[in-house]
Amino acid sequence: MNKGVVDDVQVFDPSIVEQMSLPHARDFMASVPSYFGSLNYPNNAYGYGLFMFDYGNLHFIGNAGAGSQLTYMLWESETKFSMIIISNKGMDMLFNSFKKIFEVVLGEKELTPVDFEFNNKEWGEISGKYTLPSINEENVRSVVISEKDDKMYINFNNRRDFEFEQIGQLVYRFSYPSSRFPTEIGFYRDEANNIAYMRNFWRTWVKIE
């Protein structure tokens, strides 16, 4: 937040901070408010080791570490505001706590999202086979998305079909029986406006069929 200055000492070049904080990969994730809370907000992106997003009229940057516990840190440069929340439950971002802090300390509330109008015309576009690129051909994984009986399904590695629910424009979700939260997936177009790939958390799957 201080451009590389710690205790009045320039620890590293300010250009390093700038490069880390630039949005090198935009729309890094789809909408996953129950899991990685911040990453479903507008202008979410990945820099170098840092995530960023807009909340209300503010722009936050931060990152988290997770294992059996979780620590999440955010800061906002214009207001010089930062926070750290520590959880004793791994992978739980406690994002409602962040939202309350934003409101109480900064007076900033979440912008009301635009209502989603269901349209199944996307189904034909996203249907097909996707692969997760790997330098080891033995580890190549695939996903098949298909439409059956007026419902959408997703299948990882030819195992089991899971019903695929549309929750936004090019945003869908499904649930593993053992998963606490639904998994949400976003689809993205290329310059020719064709569906080119999908993102599942931090993984990018390329559409090949």
3-state secondary structure 8-32: CEECCCHHHHHHHHCCCEECCCCCC
Residue spans of the domains in the chain: they are: 5-106, 122-207
Structure tokens at 71: 């620590």
More confident residue, 100 or 41: 100
We find that the CATH architecture of domain 122-207 is Beta Barrel (2.40)
User: Could you report the per-residue pLDDT of 182-192, keeping only the tens digit for each?
Assistant: 777 888 888 89
Sign of CA dihedral 132, 137, 139, 142: positive
Q: Which residues contact 159 (CB under 8 A, 6 or more apart)?
A: none
d(CA 152, CA 161): 9
Counting every residue written for the chain, the total comes to 209
d(CA 60, CA 68): 25
Structure tokens at 113: 């999202």
Can you give the pTM of this predicted structure? 0.60
pLDDT band for position 71 (50/70/90)?
A: confident
pLDDT of residue 7: 93
